[in-house]
């Protein structure tokens, strides 16, 4: 895919975040799942690190290399004619300029960047994460592409760092990322609707939450999340997990 085509898809993905309706980006992992989602009428798709890693026989949390992730993402971007955004975990220990160049070369026009650095078993400091987001923004701008950076925080996760007030910490981290140039922000595991409202009130740009395609998210159902004003919904590994259950049901009678 040429850089002008990539730039056009990036601009379209950014536009879709600001239509006044909730943007749902079903999370896919290969060309087959991507084509199926696009055929269902979705204008853009996300590639999740967890389902992509599972499809490759690797593990999430940077068990893949950046080259592995981009090889899968390139196949997906080449298979569909809509914008594709990729969960790039914490950036795979890659300098911002190199990361942006390789992502755009793969035809990917959006990236998730989280603050858990799995290779080091730590959470980036608040400003450290914002600085990396800012470097990615500057590199994308220099390339003339409106790369949609979705800045993720794991302040609620508690696996490598625990906060007395995870809501306040998440909000502060996401505000710093917005100021650094993130075009969307992504707090993982927000536990309830009241917390979502606090985040929405304290942020100026789009907010991404994860939901299950059948049961919804921790903060509510599909309609409840939309009513709250959540701008973007992705499925993480949950669509693939739901299909796994369906496949099991289909094949079990044939044992």
Task: Provide the residue range defining the domain that includes 174.
Answer: 3-254
pLDDT in tens, 16-34: 999 999 999 999 999 999 9
Q: What pLDDT score was predicted for residue 1?
A: 78
Q: Which residues of 218-255 are buried (b: 16+ CB within 10 A; e: fewer)?
A: bbbebeebeebebbbbbbbbbbbeeeeeeeeeeeeeee
User: What is the average pLDDT across 42-70?
Assistant: 98
- Specify the number of domains making up the chain: 1
CB 13 within 8 A of CB 112: no
Does the pLDDT at position 3 exceed 90? Answer: no
Task: Say if residue 131 is exposed, middle or buried (CB neighbours under 10 Å; 0-12, 13-18, 19+).
Answer: middle
Residue 4 has pLDDT above 90, yes or no: no
Q: Tokens standing for 73? A: 């993402």
Question: Per-residue pLDDT tens for 75-126?
Answer: 999 999 999 999 999 999 999 999 999 999 999 999 999 999 999 999 999 9
Q: Which two tokens stand for residue 156?
A: 């609620």
CATH number, domain at 164?
Answer: 3.20.20.60
The set of residues, in sequence order, having a beta carbon less than 8 Å from that of 183 and lying 6+ positions away, is: 14, 17, 110, 146, 147, 148, 149, 150, 205, 206
Q: Among candidates 183, 181, 204, 184, which has minimal Cα distance to 133?
A: 181
Q: Return the biggest CA–CA distance within the chain.
A: 57
pLDDT in tens, 152-210: 999 999 989 999 999 999 999 999 999 999 999 999 999 999 999 999 999 999 999 99
């Amino acid at each position: 895919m040429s850089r002008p085509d990539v730039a056009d898809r990036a601009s379209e993905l950014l536009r879709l975040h600001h239509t006044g309706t909730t943007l749902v980006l079903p999370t896919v992992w290969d060309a087959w799942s991507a084509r199926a989602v696009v055929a269902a009428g979705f204008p853009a798709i996300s590639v999740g690190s967890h389902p992509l890693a599972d499809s490759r026989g690797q593990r999430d949390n940077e068990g893949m290399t950046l080259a592995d992730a981009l090889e899968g993402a390139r196949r997906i971007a080449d298979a569909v004619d809509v914008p594709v955004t990729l969960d790039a975990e914490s950036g795979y220990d890659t300098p911002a300029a190199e990361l942006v160049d390789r992502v755009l070369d793969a035809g990917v026009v959006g990236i998730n960047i989280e603050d858990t650095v799995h290779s080091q078993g730590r959470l980036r400091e608040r400003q450290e994460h914002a600085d990396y987001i800012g470097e990615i923004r500057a590199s994308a701008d220099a390339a003339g592409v409106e790369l949609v950076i979705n800045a993720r925080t794991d302040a609620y996760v508690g696996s490598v760092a625990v906060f007395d007030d995870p809501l306040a910490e998440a909000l502060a981290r996401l505000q710093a990322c917005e100021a650094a140039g993130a075009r969307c922000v992504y707090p993982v595991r927000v536990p309830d609707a009241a917390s979502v409202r606090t985040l929405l009130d304290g942020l100026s740009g789009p907010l991404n939450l994860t939901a299950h395609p059948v049961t919804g998210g921790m903060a509510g159902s599909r309609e409840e999340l939309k009513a709250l004003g959540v701008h973007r919904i992705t499925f993480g590994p949950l669509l693939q997990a739901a299909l796994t259950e369906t496949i099991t049901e289909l094949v079990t009678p044939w044992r």
